[in-house]
Structure 1
């Protein structure tokens, strides 16, 4: 798994460094509006409990606002009104929580397989009162047929070809995957063309968000899916899950009739 200032699984807890995340940037009010106080509280969570539990590297604390929270929040520019979103491998909640703070109209699922991370996410969501956020413990490949969203996001999770195999099958037809990437974005995309085509993608590109708002804009790989996101295998799994769901519902109705 790639990392971006995030401590690897299995590292011991570390002491919180003496410096905090620093003064709240003025641009944060423009991005978060009425939820600015919640964004400040989330950043404090990252700089304390996030470091103590090994979810954020101690050296990242002084740059939490610029490199992490605001860098992720500007992804909200790309989301249609009322969209549903799944943040795959959410970790400490990046980018899912900043996006949810910036866009309360978007329904966000934070998908994370590790218990200590989902515990942290649940505490944050509860403390901040984020009623548009749901935390789910699980792997993306386990959720095909159980979860379908308009947008999939990811940050520092895996190389593009592998990430597409996890993320695209969770999309509704013609949905989009938005992956935050750095300088390697173009090369990763070029190396992933065959995999993206096989997985039912129609278009892909590297775009920048936050230009004119942040000092350094955020580079995003945008992959637009076609009618069968994830390809043939994902479509088969979705159909199988749908049949199983219908069978369970029909069985429940039959049992209710027998009881009557």
Structure 2
């Protein structure tokens, strides 16, 4: 909203870009529920070596994303669909990482993310100050959905105050 304009750069754009610290060179990364392109577009700009896929179910959003990335000259793939759909899992499964921001609670997000990533791939969910509470609340479902090494990490400490809080799982 209007009160966010002053914090747009740190709270929204840099907050997304810094998760690149948790990715390897050349990784294929699926942004689940990309919406307005967060975190996928800032990540693709900050890390052009990544193969970023923006996934969103709504036509108007995917059309907006196509127009935006064309205008920005960012090389990303855009897929209209839902992470839980089998054809999406067939097309995008085996990715190195699934990233998200403000999409859903961790129980649902883990169920959507795990089928899209390869063994030892990473789920990176940008969360706020309640990240530890959310992990405690949903850890059992996350593990039942195939997640291991579930933890809360921070990114961008050299660039952001406070740094980005990310729920990490393999």
Q: Which interval holds the TM-score relative to the shorter structure? A: over 0.9
State the superposition RMSD in angstroms: 1.0
Q: How far did 1:192 drift?
A: 1.3
Structure 2: runs of 5 or more not aligned = none
* 2:77 counterpart (134, 146, 163): 134
Q: How does 1:238-257 map to 2 (within 5 A)?
A: none
Unaligned runs of 5+ in 1: 1-56, 225-260
Residue by residue over 1:40-85, the C-alpha shift from the partner in whole angstroms, topping out at 9 and shown as x without a partner, is xxxxxxxxxxxxxxxxx34323321011001111111111011000
Equivalent residue for 1:72, pick from 12, 16, 19 = 16
- CA–CA separation in structure 1 for the residues paired with 2:62 and 2:128: 26
Offset, 1:91: 0.6
Q: Which runs of 4+ in 1 moved over 3 A?
A: none
TM-score (normalised: structure 2):
0.94
Q: Does structure 1 retain, via aligned residues, the 8 Å contact 2:110–2:147?
A: no
Equivalent of 2:143 in 197, 202, 214: 197
Matching residue of 1:31:
none
What does residue 144 of structure 1 align with?
89
Name which one, 1 or 2, has greater alpha-carbon Rg.
Answer: 1
* Bigger helix share: 1
Spell out the pairing of 1:31-180 with structure 2 (5 A cutoff).
57-131=1-75, 133-142=76-85, 143-148=88-93, 149-180=95-126
Structure 1 residue 126: Cα displacement: 0.7
The equivalent of 2:165 in structure 1 is 219
Deviation digits for residues 109-137 of structure 1 (CA, Å, limit 9, x no counterpart):
00001111111100011111112x11111
**2:156 and 2:164 in contact (8 A); partners too:** yes
Higher relative contact order, structure no. (Cα contacts within 8 Å, ≥ 6 residues apart): 2
Distance in 1 of aligned mates of 2:148 and 2:15: 27
Secondary structure of the corresponding residue to residue 128 of structure 2: coil
| TM norm structure 1 | 0.62
> Following TM superposition, by how much is the alpha carbon of 1:193 offset from its aligned partner in structure 2, in angstroms?
1.6
Aligned length: 167
Q: Determine the C-alpha separation between the residues in 2 that align with 1:198 and 1:179.
A: 18
